[in-house]
Structure 1
Amino acid sequence: MGRMILTGSLLLALSASAMASQVYKWVDEKGITHFGAQPPQGQTAEQIDTKVPQIRSVAPTAAAGSQEDPEQKAADEKVRREVARQEAERKKYCETTRNNLAQLRNNPRVRVTDENGAPRRLGEEERQQRIREAEEAIAKNCR
């Protein structure tokens, strides 16, 4: 039984290339491109290769990683540090914004400092506007 399956699979795999026929491509007088198994009479046609090339994968070797340029390693490390710094800043911003949003939602009598340094109470409309702004900032910048 196993021998029959192996033989059938082998024949099936080989039959695909044996069954492949020649394909022709040509453009008619109206500029329309046609494809067919037979070339047109009295017109030149281009033969198209229908064989699919075998793709061989090459596994990366350990030696390739060890020959990495030291300058590239330094640049990669610098980028990693910068990304980590930006991520830490983003997390801190998100935490602060979430805390501010919680304060705005839970306390209808919020006091802020104006540009002169004097404390003042936010009106309800301004408080709602700041809540919307905080929600938008969290949605945009925080995960």
Structure 2
Amino acid sequence: MRTFFLTVSLLIGISPPCMAAQIYKWVDAQGVTHFDAQPPQGREATTVVTPSSPASNQSPPPPSGAIGDQQAIDKKVKKQVSEQQAQLKAFCEQARTNLAQLQNNPRIREDVEGEMRRLTDQQRQERISEAQKQIADNCQ
């Protein structure tokens, strides 16, 4: 058991230097970029520099101006979303009110070119179905 742990410890101890092998980069005749541990025969290749230690989980801090710009964009988008939600809420309330009036009042009149006309039952039913469809499509 002791030899097992010793072997595993040695393998773990020597693995980072093995992983730090040289990496070559080149572009073939078709314009495709290749990366490999061996340089290509008869072609020019550049060496890719790899970090010697593992990268930390933290990303580098963005430039200070970028944070302010992103926060301004976030505020603008949040404001637009809240305005759209308010408009949708007002639309839904009005649509529900109109639907209730259409359903509860069989004598609906509308102004057509300055003249008040009464809706027929068929027109009223069409408007009810339109209002129900709008509410189902746009309101929760």
Structure 2 length normalisation: TM-score? 0.53
How far apart are residue 113 of structure 1 and its match?
1.9
**Aligned sequence identity (%):** 43
Amino acid at match of 1:53: A
2:92 to 83, 86, 94: 94
Output one character per residue of 1:27-56: Cα deviation in whole Å (capped at 9) or x when no partner: 222333322110012211122234363353
Provide closer, same or farther for how the CA distance between residues 31 and 140 of structure 1 changes in structure 2, counting only shifts above 3 A. Answer: same
Distance 2:42 2:117 in 1: 93
Q: Do the aligned partners of residues 101 and 56 (structure 1) sit closer, same or farther apart at CA in structure 2, a change above 3 Å counting?
A: same
Contact 1:112-1:122 at 8 Å conserved across structures: no
* Structure 2: 5+ residue stretches without partners: 1-7, 62-67
What is the Cα-based RMSD across aligned positions, in Å? 4.3
Map 1:68-83 to 2 at 5 A. Answer: none
State the number of aligned residues.
Answer: 117
Structure-1-length-normalised TM-score? 0.52
Distance 1:127-1:46 versus aligned 2 partners, 3 A rule = farther
Give the C-alpha shift of residue 86 in structure 1: 6.6
Structure 1 regions of 5+ residues with no counterpart? 1-7, 60-67
1: CA distance, partners of 2:97 / 2:133: 14
